[in-house]
Structures are given as structure tokens and as C-alpha cells.
Amino acid sequence: MPKWFIPAAAVCFLMFMISPVLIANAPYEATMGLVQKIFYYHVPSAMTFFVAAVVCGVNSWRFLFGKNVNADRLANSAAELAVVFGAITLVTGPLWARKSWGVWWQWDVRLTSSLMMWMIFIAYLLVRKYGGPGAEKLSAGLALFGMANVPFVYVSVNYWRTIHPTTNVVPTLPVSMGLPFWFCLAAFLLLFTLLLQLRVRLERQRAAVDSLYLALED
């Protein structure tokens, strides 16, 4: 394990322990009241989901074109984390929606597109599991296409009438709300990095076992 791992894990744990305090002390939002506070976990997890997606996409590119095997391990781990953080987003979102909009689900494009992106990463994992030999390349191709879809998702938000808050909320947050938000975002991103490191390490060890098997046969 790299030296920074344990201290970082400790920091991350502390951050998540502190976050409810920060969130409770943040001011209430004008229209939505208490329920709005789920935003402090929902939006960071959505952002982490996107970060995971981009990490997966970039490393899929490096794997396909640079033939870098470690990039493939990173991509696989990032895809798994994308599914995890996407799931958190897709659960916290409806919880918030039910209370503030009155419906569990709304078929507007951003929700639909987040769901679609999430499904792309589930498809990535399915291909890796059931695609047989050579599935690493297939899933890398899928991830690239998935990443290329992200701008289309983003564009459709700005051009489509939706009851989802528009993307411009974050920069205009008042400091009292901004602090807990950025704190939670940092906590989520740190958690993502830690989990990614753990997962990639597992893949490296698997590859080492495989090469031991191969060396045994010689």
C-alpha cells in the first residue's frame, strides 16, 4: 500500500463524520426547507459519478491506443465505482424529488441521461464478465463511446425545459451553503480515490497470480 493511503483514509473517515455537523449548521434553502440538505450528498456523488466516468473513459483510450495494461485496470475499477456512485446519485435524487417535487421520478432528459450513463457502466461490467476472451477491448470501446456521450447529455440540459434545477446553481451558492457543499465534494472525491487505489491494487495482484500460473507451466 502506498504511504499516503492510511492517512488519507483516516482523513476521509473524519470528513464523513464531520459532514453531518456542517450540513446541519448550513442555512435552510428558501423554498425547500430541510429536505434540500440531501443536496450536499446528492450533488457531490453525482459529480464523483461523472469523475469516475471520465477516468474510465480516459483510461479506456489509453488502453486501446497505448496498449497500456495498467490503464485497463484503472478503467475497470473506475467503471465499478461509477456504478456505485451512480447508484448513490440515483437513489438520493428520487428521495429528494419525492419531497420537493412530489414525484419519485421525472422523465426529463438529465435524469434519463444520468440513468443511461449509469447503464452504460453496468453494460461495461456485463461485457467484461460475459464477453469471453478479448472482452477488455470491447468494454474499452464501450467506455469511449459512453464518454463521448457526456457532452450530449450536458447540452440537452440547457436546451430542454425541465423542473430539474439548472446547472448554474453551484457557482452562485452563498458561502454559508458553499462551505459544506465543497467539503462534502472533497470528501466524496477522496473516497473515490481511495476506493480506486484499492481496486486497482486488487487487479494488479490478480494479474500477478496469472503470470505466476503461466510461469509455472514453463
Partner 1 sequence: MIDFEELAVEDVSRHFGRRKALSKITFTARAGSILGLLGPNGAGKSTLLAILGTLLLPTSGRVRYGTHADASADLRARIGMLGHDLYLYPELTARENLAFFAALYGDADPGGAADRALARASLAERANDPVASFSRGMRQRVALERALIHGPRLLLLDEPFTGLDEASVAALLARLRDLKTQGAIVVLATHDLDVAEGLFDRAVFIRDGRMMEAVTGSEALRATYRAVMTKAK
Partner 2 sequence: MSGFLRVAWIVLRKDLTVEVRSREVVYTTLFFAVSCVLVFAFALVKEGRALEDAAAGILWIAIAFAGTLALGRTFERERQSETLRALLLAPADRPAIYVGKLAGIVALLLAAEAILVPLIALLFQAAGLLAQPLWLIAVLVTGTLGYCAVGTLFAAMLVRARSRDVLLPVLLYPITIPVIIAGVRGTAALLEPAPDLPMVRFWVSLLVAFDAVFITLALWTFEPLMTE
Q: How far is the CB of 143 from partner 2 (least distance, A)?
A: 10
The residue within the footprint of partner 2, chosen from 108, 156, 178, 201 (CB under 8 A), is 156
Residues 103-162 interacting with partner 1 (rule: CB under 8 A): 133
Cα distance between residue 51 and residue 64, in whole Å: 20
Q: Does 214 bind partner 1 (CB under 8 A)?
A: yes
* 218 part of the interface to partner 1, by CB under 8 A: yes
CB of 181 to partner 2, least distance (A): 29
Q: Is 210 in the site for partner 1 (CB under 8 A)?
A: yes
Indicate which of partner 1, partner 2, none lies near residue 154 (CB less than 5 to 8 Å, by partner kind): none
**30 in contact with partner 1 (CB under 8 A):** no
Asked if 114 is part of the footprint of partner 2 (rule: CB under 8 A), the reply reads: no
Nearest-approach distance from CB 218 to partner 2, in angstroms: 22
User: Residues in contact with partner 2, total (CB under 8 A)?
Assistant: 32
Return the SS3 of 171.
helix
Q: What is the DSSP string of the chain?
A: --TTHHHHHHHHHHHHHHHHHHHHHSPPBTTTBGGGGGHHHHHHHHHHHHHHHHHHHHHHHHHHHH--HHHHHHHHHHHHHHHHHHHHHHHHHHHHHHHHTS-S----HHHHHHHHHHHHHHHHHHHHHHS-TTHHHHHHHHHHHHHHHHHHHHHHHHTS--SSPPGGGGGG--HHHHHHHHHHHHHHHHHHHHHHHHHHHHHHHHHHHHHHHHHHH-
Candidate residues 45, 146, 191, 195; the one interacting with partner 2 per rule CB under 8 A: 146
217 binds, among partner 1, partner 2, none (CB under 5 to 8 A by kind): partner 1
Binding site for partner 2 (CB under 8 A): 64-65, 109, 112-113, 116-117, 119-120, 123, 126-127, 130-132, 134-135, 137-138, 140-142, 144-146, 148-149, 152-153, 155-156, 159
